[in-house]
Copies of this chain bind each other. A is one copy, B any other.
Amino acid sequence: MAETKTKSNPGQSHSKTLKGLQSEVQSINRVALSVDCVIFGFDENKLKVLLIRSDLKKYQNKFSLLGDLVKPEEDLEDSAYRILKQRTGMDDLYLEQVHTFGEVGRHPAGRVVSVAYCSLINVQHHRLKTIDNDLHWHDVDSIKELLFDHKKIFDACYKWLQKRVQEHPLGFSLLPNKFSLRELQNLYEAILNKKLDRRNFRKKFFSMNFLVDMGEEEQNVPHRPGRLYKFDYEKYEKNKKTWSGIDF
């Protein structure tokens, strides 16, 4: 919040005290604030989203994003990290704020404004410590309806991801540390929902100079194994100025 002034008193400023503002902030005009996380994963060559069956009896056959109220003494972003930790058992996940949804009627329990965050996780890691029986991965293209306005929130985050992944190297958060170029391409094809040219795809990523050849090969594939690479963040930072895209 910034400066408020009564419309009837234009041109007269310095009329408010901090104390007056404090009481305004502490008593009236408050709303419930929540965070909803759209957590993407990548498994079996499909883009997935982590959902939970609604806690609420009335809505128990609907799926929902993972969210919670922001606590009064908690930074907004910390709130999102807390939800991720509670739900996945994982720390240090990729997390970015996408949009805030604040229509009056969006939540049946009253005025709840929700800040949407997008998170990307490595499904393999998550599998080992799945915490909650009601949490499930859903194919993104199977999402037809969600609780409240969560479909709208999901759509916004999915579009955001499709755009963002073409400008920033965030897809690696969805893959194991070591991956083949085929896996990387499958990921991009799943996110963008279109086929890409294999040779041009390889050329493009190699030219960006942030993939490190691990000198290893895929195991247990029923065909010639591909080389394994890892994403090197330092090399990314060093080279990103020289690329063509805005700031991939």
Residues of A within 8 A of B (CB): 1-5, 7, 10-11, 13-18, 21-22, 24-26, 29-36, 52-58, 60, 64-77, 79, 86, 97, 99-104, 107-115, 131-134, 147-148, 150, 163, 166, 246
10 A–B contacts from the bound complex (CB under 8 Å): A1-B32, A1-B34, A2-B52, A3-B67, A4-B55, A11-B133, A13-B54, A30-B32, A76-B113, A100-B115
B residues in contact with A13, CB < 8 Å: 52-55, 60, 133-134
One complex includes copies of this chain to the number of: 2
Give the CA-CA distance A4 to B86 in the complex, in Å.
Answer: 10
A108 touches B3 (CB 8 A): no
The answer to whether A75 and B103 touch (CB under 8 A), given A33-B113, A110-B22, A133-B10, is yes
Give the CA-CA distance A33 to B194 in the complex, in Å.
Answer: 40
The answer to whether A25 and B100 touch (CB under 8 A), given A2-B65, A57-B17, is no
Residue of B nearest to A31 (CB): B33
Give the CA-CA distance A45 to B35 in the complex, in Å.
Answer: 41
B residues in contact with A134, CB < 8 Å: 11, 13
Give the CA-CA distance A99 to B133 in the complex, in Å.
Answer: 34
B residues in contact with A148, CB < 8 Å: 2
Tell me the minimal C-beta distance from A124 to chain B in angstroms: 21
B residues in contact with A56, CB < 8 Å: 3, 14, 16-18, 21
B residues in contact with A71, CB < 8 Å: 29
B32 touches A32 (CB 8 A): no
B100 touches A1 (CB 8 A): no
A103 touches B131 (CB 8 A): no
The answer to whether A10 and B132 touch (CB under 8 A), given A29-B70, A150-B2, is yes
Tell me the minimal C-beta distance from A90 to chain B in angstroms: 15
Give the CA-CA distance A75 to B104 in the complex, in Å.
Answer: 5
B110 touches A2 (CB 8 A): no
Contact of A68 among B1, B64, B147 (CB under 8 A): B1
B33 touches A3 (CB 8 A): no
B residues in contact with A57, CB < 8 Å: 14, 16-18
The answer to whether A1 and B31 touch (CB under 8 A), given A100-B100, A132-B10, A163-B246, is no
The answer to whether A246 and B10 touch (CB under 8 A), given A1-B69, A2-B66, A30-B30, is no
